[in-house]
Amino acid sequence: MSRSAHPAGPRHADVLPEGHYAAPPVDLNALEPKVWSRTVTRDADGALTVAGIGVRELAETFGTPAYVLDEADFRARCRAWREAFGAGADVFYAGKAFLSRAVVRWLADEGLNVDVCSGGELATALAGGMPPERIALHGNNKSVAEITRAVEAGVGRIVLDSFQEIERVAAAARRHGTRQRVQIRVTVGVEAHTHEFIATAHEDQKFGLALADGTAAEAVRRVLRHRDDLELVGIHSHIGSQIFDMAGFEVSARRVVGLLTAVRDEHGIELPEVDLGGGLGIAYTAEDDPSEPHEIGKSLSEIVAKECDAAGLAVPRLSVEPGRAIVGPGAFTLYEVGTVKPLTGLRTYVSVDGGMSDNIRTALYDADYSVVLASRSSAAPPMLARVVGKHCESGDIVVRDAYLPADVAPGDLLAVPATGAYCRSMASNYNHTPRPPVIAVAEGRAREIVRRETEDDLLRLDVG
């Protein structure tokens, strides 16, 4: 629920701060299709089911908190992205959103490639069986060891992010006796409309090489001096994350094609690839309205084609790197309520058995999430609630403003949708909390694809 200037709607069990919060939903048991994976529904008892499995059964078998990932939803989104861009383009799933060996197998099956940005992500992609030529390595400060491993593994591309890295990748390729395919990551000078921490195309930040002051053009010159060791295949731009407005991508596409034209004019070569990055937003609440992959595919392909046509360039092979848009909507986090604390005249604090260690996004980006009572339906009136975790931090908030049925009680299960991206992958062990498992569900079956951490796991690292 977003904080808005809407007046309070129907009567509800709690007192609302005046004029500050959106009205409660008409039906608290309803499931907003935009934020749930495609197989989530309520069964005859009112409990949530996913892929035909009830959440009470999931909680009994695997415990809570747990991330529940719907394989059919994940695969359907992979296919939608592939189809949206067609055979003349590549879709690189951004592994930072969430990566595990099972997910890599699903990606490989569905014909997607993978973008990794660390040695650990590279190791996971390889361990999951992704062919190395379908892996791209990113990062603004890749270590020499990471570069060497990627070159030795034979990754399909390394995305260069600094002048120093050009020399490091060239040296690694020379040592290994290969010619490494590379792209140059540029910052196109777009102010993406998203949280400051996840915008990446304005010039005053750490990623990429700026177009505006000629740094990107200089990077091209430097890469081309290493023709024996580096094959410059294209230009890469990623403008940020959780973006709804396509205008930023359009400007980015135009500016990248502008650089391709400048490269042709200066060096007499046409670079065959353009990658426009990821960053497409998803719905976290009913108010969010993301574009569909086919709209995005059509609009980006048309802009690149039009700009190339105008510049007299052959249309390059396009690629994109969606992470959140593929894995985000397909998972929810299942929590058990521990305490319910009404604060007179304010709201009710509902504490769950996880928190900022399994979802840091609310604290870090002020992200909005929604939540439902999952283990049963309820006819109780709406109560203004804040869903909080169990950590020693007052900013440990999972859902800042939520309406829950007023009879929510300890032992109830809550589900927070759209937690597939950047929740498990950004999870921490704060307060020595073992991280939750990822449970994959498909066709009536559930299995752990990442197991729950144990206190033994934590103590095993404590060698003092």
Instruction: Indicate which of ligand LYS, ligand PLP, none lies near residue 280 (CB less than 5 to 8 Å, by partner kind).
Output: ligand PLP
Rounded to whole angstroms, the Cα distance separating 171 from 165 reads 10
CB atoms near residue 289 (< 10 Å): 9
Q: How far is CA 153 from CA 150, 157, 438, in A?
A: 5, 11, 28
117 is an active site residue: no
Q: Does 285 interact with ligand LYS (rule: CB under 6 A)?
A: no
- What amino acid is encoded at 227 in this protein? R
Per CB under 6 A, contacts with ligand PLP among 132-161 are 138
Q: Which of 321, 336, 358, 396 lies at the binding interface for ligand PLP (CB under 6 A)? A: 321
Nearer to ligand LYS, 100 or 301 (CB): 100
Q: Which of 24, 95, 119, 279 lies at the binding interface for ligand PLP (CB under 6 A)? A: 279
CB atoms near residue 175 (< 10 Å): 12
Q: Which of 242, 285, 375, 419 lies at the binding interface for ligand LYS (CB under 6 A)? A: 242
Per CB under 6 A, contacts with ligand LYS among 307-326 are none
- What amino acid is encoded at 109 in this protein? D
DSSP helix/strand/coil, 417: strand
CB of residue 236 vs ligand PLP: minimum separation in angstroms? Answer: 7
443 is in an annotated binding site: no
422 is in an annotated binding site: yes
The one catalytic residue in 78, 117, 308, 392 is 392
Q: Which of 77, 361, 386, 435 lies at the binding interface for ligand LYS (CB under 6 A)? A: 361
Do 284 and 324 form a contact (C-beta atoms < 8 A)? Answer: no
453 is in an annotated binding site: no
Q: Tell me how long the chain is.
A: 464
Nearer to ligand LYS, 426 or 449 (CB): 426
Rounded to whole angstroms, the Cα distance separating 361 from 450 reads 20
Nearer to ligand PLP, 82 or 238 (CB): 238
Do 150 and 136 form a contact (C-beta atoms < 8 A)? Answer: no
CB of residue 421 vs ligand PLP: minimum separation in angstroms? Answer: 6
Do 48 and 55 form a contact (C-beta atoms < 8 A)? Answer: yes
E strand intervals along 214-307: 230-236, 273-275
Task: From 94, 104, 74, select the one nearest 138 (Cα to Cα).
Answer: 94
The 95-124 contact track toward ligand PLP, x by CB under 6 A, reads --x-----------------x---------
Rounded to whole angstroms, the Cα distance separating 217 from 262 reads 8
Task: From 406, 369, 418, select the one nearest 389 (Cα to Cα).
Answer: 369
430 is in an annotated binding site: no
Task: From 43, 111, 78, 61, select the one nearest 328 (Cα to Cα).
Answer: 78
Instruction: Indicate which of ligand PLP, ligand LYS, none lies near residue 361 (CB less than 5 to 8 Å, by partner kind).
Output: ligand LYS
Q: Does 238 interact with ligand PLP (rule: CB under 6 A)?
A: yes
203 is in an annotated binding site: no
The 173-192 contact track toward ligand LYS, x by CB under 6 A, reads --------------------
CB atoms near residue 291 (< 10 Å): 16
Question: Residue positions in the annotated binding site for substrate?
Answer: 324, 361, 365, 393, 422
Question: Which residues are tagged catalytic?
Answer: 392
Binding residue numbers for pyridoxal 5'-phosphate: 279, 321-324, 422
Contacts to ligand PLP by CB under 6 A = 94, 97, 115, 138, 238, 241, 277-280, 321-325, 421
State the residues that interact with ligand LYS by CB under 6 A: 96, 198, 241-242, 361, 422, 426
